[in-house]
C-alpha cells in the first residue's frame, strides 16, 4: 500500500507537475543555484519581502470537508547574503507562513519577522548579529537579547494574537492576518526582554505555560487563555543546561536538565556548550500550583531538542515522549554544511529515537525506546498534559540527502507504529494534529504539515488521517514556488 500510493503520487504529480510547474518552480525563491544539489532548495533564501497571498493548487486527493483553519509556521529563511552563508541553521531570520484552508482551498502567504537583526543585516546585506552558532560582527551592537532575536523558531496563538517565538529573547507580536510585525511582547513591565521559549505548552482550556531560561535560573510563565499573565515565578535548576523544550502534565511542569551545559556566555552559544554525561538527564518536577514544591528525577544521559507531551497516571507515575539522542551531534554542526550545500551523509548517523520516559513516584526514570527515528514529535492539542494514544514525527532518513523522508505515528496504547515514506523526492517537516469534527479520540484527527517536493521544486501542504498514516496522504496542495525548510507551527 505504501509503495503503490507513493508511486501513484509520484506518477500523478511528478510528470504533470514537473512539466507544468517545473519551469517556474523557483520564481518565488530569491536565488537559484544550479550547481547545488536538488535538496539545497530547502536551504535557500525566501524572497526579501516574503510571499504575497497565493492560492495553492490541489494536486492530489480530496480535502477533508471539516478541515478549516490556518497553519502558521516559522523557520529560518535568510540563510545566505551573497557568498556569505550562515554557519548555523538556527540563526536565520524567521519567516512566518500562514496557509489558510477553507472550503477545500489553501492560500499561502509569508512575512519575515521585522527584528533589529533583520533590519540591520538587510541594510548591510551581510550577517552581523551573534547567535546560537554565529560569532557575529564586532560592530553590531548588542544591548539585550532582543537585539539578536531571530524570531525564527515557532509561533503561538493566544486569544487571537499571533506571536513569533525564539527562545533567548522576547516573543514578537504579529498581526495574525497581515503577518506584519508589531514588536516585542512584554508580558509585564518588569518582564520586558525576558526570554520566552519557543515551546510553550497550551492546556486544552487555553491556559499557556512557558519557561524563560537564563543560566541556572528558569522563569515560569502562567498565561490565561485571555492572554493575560497570571503568574511568574523563578526556580533554580543548578546548572546552565541548554533548554529548548520541556513538558508538563495536568499538575506538574517537567524541566529537563540535559547534561549539555553552557561553560561560556560568549557567542556563539554552541561553542560554549559542553557535553557532561556524568550528570545524566535530570528532570525537575514542579507543582503548577506551588513552584516551591519540587522534586528531582534522574535518567541516563541523553540530549534532546523536543518532547511530545506528558501525563500522570493514577499511581503518580509520570510518562512523556521525547526524541532523545545519545549525544549532541546535530546541534553542534547545526546544518552549516547543508546551508553550503555540502551534505556528505555524516549526519545521517545522528539519530534521534522516539522514547518514552517513565518517572516513578520515587527512584530513577526508565527510558523505553521505540524503533522510530525522527524529529518534531507532536500530539493532539486536546490531550496536552493528559493520557493519550498517539504521537507523530517527521521520520525516515535518505542516504542521499538531509531531512526526513516520511511521517510516522506511534500508538502508546497498542504499541503499534505506522509510517508513510515519500522517498527521496520529498523533505518532510513537522505535522500537527488537527481534531476531526465530532471525534473524541486523538485517533480522530488529521495530521497537517508541509513537505518540500524536490522533484517539482515546490512546497506542499499535506493532510493525513492520523489513524492511518500508512495509507498515505489524504490530499496534497501545491504552491507554485518553494520556501526553505522551517521548524515549528501551530494550527488555529
Partner 1 sequence: MNRTASIAALIATSLLAAPLALASELTVNVEGITEAQGSISLGLFDQATYEGNGAVDGANLTVEGDRVTVTFDGVEPGEYAVKLFHDVNGDGEMNTNPFGMPTEPFAFSNDAKGRFGPAKWDDAKFSVTADGAVHTITMN
Least distance (Å) from partner 1 to the CB of residue 194? Answer: 5
Residues 454, 14 contacting (CB under 8 angstroms): no
**Strand stretches in 159-239, DSSP E:** 161-165, 172-174, 181-184, 201-202, 208-214, 217-223, 229-236
In whole angstroms, the minimum distance from the beta carbon of 261 to partner 1 comes to: 18
Q: State the minimum distance, in angstroms, from the CB of residue 137 to partner 1.
A: 10
Q: Residue 20: helix, strand or coil by DSSP?
A: helix
Q: How far apart are CA 109 and CA 391, in angstroms?
A: 28
* Cα distance between residue 308 and residue 96, in whole Å: 23
Contact call for residues 137 and 149 (beta carbons, < 8 A): no
Q: Which helix (H) or strand (E) holds 333?
A: helix 330-333
By the 8 A CB rule, do 174 and 164 touch? Answer: yes
- Residue 136 near residue 130 (C-beta atoms within 8 A): yes
The residue (of 218 and 310) whose beta carbon lies closer to partner 1 is 218
**CA gyration radius for the chain?**
21
Of 146 and 442, the one with the shorter C-beta distance to partner 1 is 146
CB of residue 269 to partner 1, shortest distance in Å:
13
Neighbour tally for 444: CB within 10 Å = 17
Nearer to partner 1, 228 or 234 (CB): 234
* Dihedral Cα 347, 422, 428, 20, nearest 10 deg: 120
Residue 147 CB neighbour total at 10 angstroms = 17
Q: How far apart are CA 256 and CA 285, in angstroms?
A: 9
What dihedral angle (degrees, nearest 10) is formed by the CA atoms of 331, 336, 339, 341? -120
Q: How far is the CB of 252 from partner 1 (least distance, A)?
A: 22
Q: Which is nearer to partner 1, 145 or 206 (CB)?
A: 145
Closer by beta carbon to partner 1, 53 or else 214: 214
Shortest separation between residue 353's beta carbon and partner 1, angstroms: 34
DSSP β-ladder status, 445-453 and 458-465? antiparallel
Based on CB atoms, which residue is closest to partner 1, 169 or 374?
169
* In the complex, least distance from residue 258 CB atom to partner 1, rounded to whole angstroms: 21
- For partner 1, give the closer residue by CB, 63 or 219: 219
Q: How far out from the chain centre does Cα 251 lie?
A: 25
CB of 145 to partner 1, least distance (A): 7
Indicate the residue among 140 and 487 with the shorter CB distance to partner 1: 140
For residue 219 the three cell numbers come to 522563569
Task: Kindly tell me which of 103 and 190 has the beta carbon lying closer to partner 1.
Answer: 190
Contact 181, 169 (CB under 8 A): no
Q: Which is nearer to partner 1, 132 or 446 (CB)?
A: 132
What are 429's strand-pairing partners?
Answer: none
CB half-sphere exposure, 459, CA atoms < 13 A = 29
Q: What is the smallest separation between the CB atom of 446 and partner 1, expressed in angstroms?
A: 40
Measured CA distances, 290 to 115, 227, 285 (Å)? 36, 21, 11
The cell for 229 is 499573565
In the complex with partner 1, which residue's Cβ is closer, 24 or 266?
266
**Whether the Cβ atoms of residue 285 and residue 252 lie closer than 8 Å to each other:** yes
Q: Are 38 and 454 in contact (CB under 8 A)?
A: yes
Q: At its nearest, how many Å lie between partner 1 and the CB of residue 223?
A: 16
Shortest approach of partner 1 to residue 142 CB, angstroms? 5
- Least separation in angstroms between residue 131's CB and partner 1 is 13
Q: Please, are residues 456 and 9 in contact by the beta-carbon 8 Å criterion?
A: no
Q: Which of 85/216 has CB closer to partner 1?
A: 216
List of residues contacting partner 1 (CB under 8 A): 138, 140-145, 189-195, 212, 214, 217, 219, 232, 234, 266
Amino acid at each position: 500500500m505504501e509503495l503503490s500510493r507513493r508511486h501513484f503520487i509520484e506518477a500523478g504529480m511528478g510528470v504533470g507537475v514537473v512539466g507544468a510547474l517545473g519551469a517556474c518552480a523557483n520564481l518565488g525563491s530569491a536565488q537559484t543555484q544550479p550547481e547545488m544539489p536538488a535538496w539545497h532548495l530547502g536551504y535557500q533564501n525566501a524572497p526579501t519581502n516574503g510571499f504575497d497571498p497565493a492560492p495553492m493548487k490541489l494536486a492530489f486527493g480530496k480535502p477533508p470537508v471539516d478541515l478549516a483553519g490556518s497553519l502558521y509556521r516559522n523557520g529560518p529563511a535568510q540563510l545566505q547574503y551573497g557568498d556569505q552563508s550562515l554557519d548555523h541553521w538556527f540563526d536565520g531570520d524567521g519567516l512566518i507562513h500562514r496557509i489558510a484552508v477553507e472550503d477545500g482551498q489553501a492560500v499561502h502567504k509569508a512575512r519575515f519577522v521585522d527584528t533589529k537583526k533583520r533590519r540591520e543585516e538587510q541594510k548591510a546585506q551581510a550577517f552581523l548579529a551573534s547567535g546560537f552558532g554565529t560569532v557575529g560582527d564586532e560592530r553590531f551592537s548588542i544591548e539585550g537579547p532582543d537585539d539578536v532575536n531571530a524570531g525564527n523558531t515557532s509561533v503561538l496563538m493566544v486569544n487571537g494574537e499571533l506571536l513569533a517565538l525564539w527562545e533567548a529573547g522576547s516573543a514578537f507580536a504579529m498581526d495574525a492576518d497581515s503577518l506584519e510585525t508589531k514588536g516585542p511582547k512584554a508580558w509585564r513591565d518588569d518582564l520586558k526582554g525576558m526570554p520566552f521559549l519557543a515551546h510553550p505548552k497550551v492546556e486544552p482550556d487555553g491556559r499557556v505555560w512557558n519557561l524563560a531560561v537564563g543560566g541556572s535560573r528558569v522563569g515560569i510563565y502562567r498565561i490565561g487563555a485571555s492572554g493575560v499573565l497570571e503568574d511568574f515565578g523563578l526556580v533554580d535548576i543548578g546548572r546552565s543546561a541548554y533548554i529548548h523544550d520541556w513538558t508538563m502534565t495536568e499538575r506538574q511542569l517537567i524541566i529537563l536538565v540535559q547534561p549539555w551545559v553552557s561553560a561560556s556566555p560568549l557567542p556563539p552559544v554552541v561553542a560554549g556548550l559542553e557535553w557532561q554525561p556524568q550528570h545524566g538527564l535530570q528532570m525537575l518536577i514542579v507543582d503548577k500550583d506551588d513552584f516551591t514544591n519540587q522534586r528531582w528525577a534522574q535518567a541516563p544521559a541523553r540530549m534532546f531538542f523536543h518532547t511530545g507531551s506528558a501525563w500522570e497516571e493514577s499511581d503518580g507515575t509520570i510518562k512523556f515522549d521525547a526524541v532523545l539522542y545519545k549525544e549532541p551531534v546535530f546541534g553542534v554542526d547545526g546544518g552549516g554544511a547543508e546551508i553550503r550545500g555540502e551534505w556528505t551523509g555524516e549526519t545521517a548517523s545522528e539519530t534521534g529515537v522516539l522514547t518514552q520516559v517513565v518517572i516513578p513516584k520515587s527512584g530513577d526514570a526508565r527510558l523505553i525506546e521505540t524503533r522510530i527515528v525522527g524529529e518534531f514529535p507532536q500530539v493532539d492539542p486536546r490531550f496536552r498534559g493528559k493520557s493519550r494514544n498517539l504521537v507523530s514525527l517527521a521520520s525516515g532518513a535518505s542516504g542521499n540527502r538531509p531531512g526526513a523522508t516520511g511521517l510516522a505515528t506511534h500508538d502508546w496504547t497498542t504499541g503499534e507504529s505506522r509510517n508513510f515514506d515519500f522517498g527521496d523526492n520529498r523533505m518532510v517537516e513537522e505535522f500537527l494534529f488537527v481534531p476531526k469534527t465530532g471525534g473524541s479520540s486523538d485517533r480522530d484527527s488529521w495530521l497537517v504539515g508541509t513537505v518540500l517536493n524536490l522533484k517539482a521544486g515546490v512546497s506542499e501542504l499535506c493532510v493525513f488521517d492520523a489513524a492511518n498514516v500508512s495509507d498515505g496522504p489524504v490530499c496534497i496542495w501545491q504552491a507554485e514556488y518553494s520556501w526553505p525548510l522551517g521548524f515549528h507551527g501551530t494550527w488555529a
